[in-house]
Amino acid sequence: MIASMSEYQEEIKIIVISDGTGETASLMTKAAVVQFSDREISYTRYKNIRTQVQIEAIFEDAASRHDLVVYTLVSPNLRKYTQEMVEKYKVPAIDLLGPLLNSLALFFEAAPKSEPGLTRTVNEQYFKRIAAMEYTIAHDDGKNLEGLADADIVILGISRTSKTPLSMYLSMQGYRVANVPLVRGIPVPAELAAVDPNKIICLTIQAEVLHTIRKARLDRLGKDTRDHKPESYASMEHVMEDIEYATDLYRQNRKWPVFDVSGKALEETATEVIRIVGARKKIAARSQGPQA
């Protein structure tokens, strides 16, 4: 039985043990922990664990602080020994991989290969997408601008040009995407200057299409929308001024490719963005030449 963290120290520490890289266990644990605690939690990862001596040393240290241990060990011998250490040191622990391997062995009627690192190959892309989606959600609509330079793609556009849907779609392909709204009268964020221009893409839209979209949005929201004044937000005059403002900004920054989203499916725009960003990345890599 796992003891409650409230029984122990104020500082919460989770130890991750793996005979591979430990990335799977770390990401799964972090994804689960956020559902339970807002407290500060520190993580220590022990990877490429191969011996019983290593495992016992970790548990001996964990026992002194009542840390929680999470482990993914494909070796049945190491899993068995780890369980012995759990009982010996009375350390709360969670075996993430063992129950799954046992269930799959029954299903396939075969023993697992017990090769450390195979789970990394299977799960690496999945958890890359999860991390990309988490980044994208945190950097939607101009939020957390201090992390803008860490994005794989930065999307600029005026209101209702599909910045958020496109960002989320790209994040599901594994890209960390930030989107920044362009608003007349408000300067573009200074943090944008630190972003590689090859990562920046711009969205535009035909005035008639945007007018229709904004009018429909106001009809759905009613007259109490907080972000815009209904009488101007969807007017053709307001729409034209917004598009002109964005177009002028794009012209001042010729390195930023512009994508017209008028009448296009999200997948179509995303495919174009991925193609352009990928091509620019390859060109930039070639221009740098071989590293000394």
Residue 133 resides in a domain: no
Dihedral angle over CA of 58, 63, 66, 70, nearest 10: 30
Residue 149 resides in a domain: yes
pLDDT tens-digit series, residues 11-32 = 689 999 998 888 878 888 887 8
Q: Are 283 and 152 contained in the same domain?
A: yes
pLDDT tens-digit series, residues 106-160 = 888 877 665 555 555 555 677 788 899 999 999 999 999 999 999 999 999 999 9
CATH number of 183's domain: 3.40.50.300
**Between residues 119 and 234, the one the model is more confident about:** 234
Number of domains in the chain: 2
* pLDDT given at position 226: 47
SS3 readout for 135-168: HHHHCHHHCCHHHHHHCCEEEEECCCCCHHHHHH
pTM equals 0.58
Weakest mean pLDDT among 82-96, 111-125, 166-180, 210-224: 111-125
Sheet holding 153-157, edge to edge: 177-181, 153-157, 200-204, 258-260
Q: Of 58-67, 121-130, 246-255, which has the strongest mean pLDDT?
A: 246-255
Phi, psi of 143 (to 5 degrees): -80, 150
User: Which residues pair with residue 18 across a beta bridge?
Assistant: 72
Residue 157 domain boundaries: 139-288
